[in-house]
Amino acid sequence: MGKPKITVFMAVYNQADFIEQSINSVLTQSFSDFELIVVNDGSTDDTAAIIESFSDSRIKLVHNDGNKGLIYTRNRLLTLAQGEYIAILDGDDVAYPDRLKLQYNFLFDNPEIVLCGGHATIIDEHGNKTGKMLMVPTDDTVDLFMLFGNPFVNSTAMFKSSVFMELNGYQHYTISEDFDLFIRMAEKYRVANLDYTLVDYRVHSQNTSTVNTDIRLANERKIIGYMQGRIGLTDDENWLNLHIELFNWTPVKKHLIGYAFLFNKLKLANNMSKRYDPKIFNRFLFNKWIDILTSDQINSLSLKWYLKNEIFESSFFSFKKFRRAFKNSIKQLLS
């Protein structure tokens, strides 16, 4: 038999409560030309026994010699993956039946794109839908979005194996290793998201990002500092602190002037470095500025804030945005 088109990959550790449903969601895909590699990272519960209970020949169970951690486990893909594409699915999430087909067809039809993801529905530990979604950007600003957040749900990510190998896999950014990989892919190639919901994303108390918040924040600082440097913004702790607040979507009203200066610094640096197309970049910053001003944390400011010279360009200001700004300004006057 030839090599499979897709390698679906799960890194698992003590996922006995969820792994059966996750594996079944892969085995029932409408696209069947795949291998499912599950690397057991030293689980101490029944995870391995549950995986071994499946008889499907497409499943390849590999055991680490003890608990080696997520980066080591994911990097086993460098030697194990046989597929042209790699599709990530965490061992507690559930793939929708057409997930692989939609992504494979998209990447096949758009060979210049090396990475794509999609939306996710949030479920609780019992598999119940919470009514919330993880909505990702699906326009041409996916790579720009990385400046203010991860535009990919990891369990929806599918990427070219050759590019993963070229970039030497995941680097040592614990909890943020997927984000770092996506940034490095976007620096060299085109990336995108599909306007489809591809997985159920399970939120529970043992989610890695929930348990290790301090480590995640420390690594985000390093990654954002790197991105600022790539644009040409000189290393400055003040700009980094402000950027971190926006990245984690915790804007503070008293820092608005600082955000405006940060955006101006980014705009001027990019005009020089041409890291991003200046016209697209400047419009993106303006739209992000509107999002900040109309956020729950900042809401209802006078019109002058929407017209800050550092950010505003008349061609960016549509009637819809003007109406939104005007309504918020009225609220401010009446409050």
The answer to whether the beta carbons of residues 84 and 18 sit under 8 Å apart is no
**How many residues in the chain?**
335
C-alpha–C-alpha distance, residues 269 and 274, integer Å: 8
Residues of the chain with CATH 3.90.550.10: 6-210
Six-digit token string for 287: 């739209």
Annotation: CATH topology of 6-210: Spore Coat Polysaccharide Biosynthesis Protein SpsA; Chain A (3.90.550)
Examine the pLDDT at 138 and tell me if it is beyond 50: yes
Six-digit token string for 198: 């591809």
The answer to whether the beta carbons of residues 82 and 160 sit under 8 Å apart is no
Digit-coded pLDDT (tens) for 279-327: 999 999 998 998 898 888 887 666 677 777 677 676 676 656 556 655 6
Give the chain's mean pLDDT.
90
Higher pLDDT, 322 or 8: 8
Six-digit token string for 106: 């998209």
* pLDDT cut 70: percent of the chain above it: 89
pLDDT band at 152 (very low <50, low <70, confident <90, very high): very high
Give the three-state DSSP class for 128. coil
Digit-coded pLDDT (tens) for 122-131: 999 999 999 9
The answer to whether the beta carbons of residues 241 and 248 sit under 8 Å apart is no
Average pLDDT on 133-156 reads 95
